[in-house]
């Protein structure tokens, strides 16, 4: 009986939609045909749903089947359109807002164990005495080896004021020990900055979230007070984030009115242009931007704008080439729809999507020798392994291997002594400084 009512409801809805389309379009036949075709296909979907529920060997949940159908539908479009179940949608909102309830530790997988990269200063993890290199073997009594990295992150996060018990294994300790920590609101740092030699400053942007532009401005203002005369902007392995933050970051370095990025989509309201407003005055110093195959989306927008306007020398390797706009649409049950609606173009009209950006100066970074655990042979930089469609995070920690070059406890940036790309960037800026000083002396003479 319920199936009959469901079918009648759909017919009523489609009939209503058809009537509206007839009125709006003046009786255009193609709109009516599209609606009728969609209804026929929906009939097939509901038939399959009913057959699965009635005949499948195990009992199924309608929500799981419907979510699976939506997920499959979006997978036929492109790699970036996706369905976000309520828990994933909520997690995505946390990532872009830049704050969450947690402990304040950065983690990775090293030697197939969940390992602390570093505690964030002033957080519960820092105050509890967690060290870089500590291995977290259990979270609330649950062994971490059976979790994926994303599952471990979710278990470490939680509402402010709640407690979590970590079982820690430390090299200089006789055995595992437990620490009880209370979660607090943790502010995510997407911008890290430090001064190098000869007035050269280094700024790393790890991702673009709601405060990236403001955090970058503060960092530049402080570095300027310390005598910054040149800048390295590191966008390597930056997967992107919010478009408006990429615009704000580019705005800090460009002249007022200069185009930063524009988008083109099928619907006219997706055709947008973003130009520098230049409301904040910062020193205009020589710049080198570092990119690689892990630089995508918002980081490609920034690098492309600075490259097109010749504001910075772009150094490294070709970027990932993810230049499409995803609009995130909340749905009625708390889930979300991430839908590709437009594509990005640099100020000079270069299409980012599928092409990537080529650096002005190519400097390859030495790649670590792949091990059996990494499964890295044949993978391209910035791409997931082919035998793991959803990427490395889907593997259990006991099967996973992190970046063997990652220096535990090093949070302020790479070492110029061992980082070939950074070393080359510094050499270029030093040469620029020498040339500028010589030019000033000649003009003065």
Q: Nearest CA to 398 among 109, 108, 151?
A: 109
Largest Cα separation within the chain, whole Å, is: 96
Q: Which residues pair with 261 in a beta bridge?
A: 274
Phi, psi dihedrals of residue 97, rounded to the nearest 5°: -75, -25
Residue with tokens 């960037």: 425
Q: Which residues pair with 205 in a beta bridge?
A: 191
Euclidean distance between CA atoms 85 and 92, whole angstroms: 11
Euclidean distance between CA atoms 133 and 122, whole angstroms: 18
Bridge-based pairing of strands 287-291 and 230-234 is: parallel
Indicate which residues carry an active-site annotation. Answer: 297, 308, 322
Q: What angle do CA 66, 68, 72 make, to 5 degrees?
A: 120
């Amino acid at each position: 009986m319920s199936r009959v009512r469901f079918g009648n409801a759909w017919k009523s809805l489609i009939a209503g939609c058809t009537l509206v389309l007839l009125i709006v379009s003046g009786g255009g036949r193609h709109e009516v045909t599209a609606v009728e075709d969609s209804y026929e296909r929906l009939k097939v979907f509901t038939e399959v749903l009913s057959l699965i529920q009635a005949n499948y060997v195990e009992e199924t949940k309608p929500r799981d089947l419907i979510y699976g159908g939506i997920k499959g539908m979006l997978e036929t479009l492109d790699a970036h359109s996706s369905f976000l179940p309520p828990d994933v949608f909520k997690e995505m909102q946390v990532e872009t807002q830049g704050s969450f309830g947690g402990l304040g530790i950065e983690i990775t997988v090293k030697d197939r164990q969940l390992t602390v990269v570093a505690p964030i200063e002033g957080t519960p993890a820092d105050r509890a005495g967690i060290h870089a290199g500590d291995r977290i073997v259990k979270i609330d009594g649950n062994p971490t080896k059976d979790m994926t990295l994303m599952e471990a992150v979710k278990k470490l996060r939680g509402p402010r004021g709640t407690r979590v018990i970590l079982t820690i294994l430390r090299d200089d300790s006789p055995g595992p020990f437990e620490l009880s920590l209370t979660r607090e609101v943790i502010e995510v740092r997407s911008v890290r900055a430090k001064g190098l030699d000869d007035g050269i400053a280094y700024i790393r942007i790890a991702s673009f979230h709601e405060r990236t532009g403001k955090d970058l401005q503060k960092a530049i203002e402080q570095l300027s007070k310390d005598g910054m005369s040149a800048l390295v902007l590191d966008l390597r392995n930056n997967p992107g984030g919010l478009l408006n933050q990429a615009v704000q970051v580019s705005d800090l370095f460009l002249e007022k009115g200069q185009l930063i990025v524009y988008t083109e989509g099928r619907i006219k309201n997706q055709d947008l242009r973003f130009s520098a407003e230049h409301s904040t005055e910062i020193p205009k110093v020589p710049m080198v931007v570092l990119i690689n195959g892990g630089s995508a989306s918002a980081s490609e927008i920034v690098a492309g704008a600075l490259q097109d306007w010749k504001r910075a020398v772009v150094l490294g390797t070709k970027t990932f080439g993810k230049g499409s706009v995803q609009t995130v649409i909340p749905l009625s049950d708390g889930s979300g729809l991430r839908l590709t609606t437009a594509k990005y173009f640099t100020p000079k009209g270069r299409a980012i999507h599928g092409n990537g950006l080529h650096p002005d100066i190519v400097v390859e970074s030495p790649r670590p020798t792949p091990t059996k655990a990494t499964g890295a042979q044949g993978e391209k930089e910035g791409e997931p392994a082919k035998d793991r469609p959803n990427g490395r995070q889907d593997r259990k920690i006991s099967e996973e291997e992190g970046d063997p070059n990652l220096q535990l406890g090093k949070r302020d940036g790479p070492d110029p002594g061992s980082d070939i790309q950074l070393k080359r960037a510094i050499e270029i800026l030093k040469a620029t400084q020498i040339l500028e000083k010589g030019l000033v002396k000649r003009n003065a003479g």
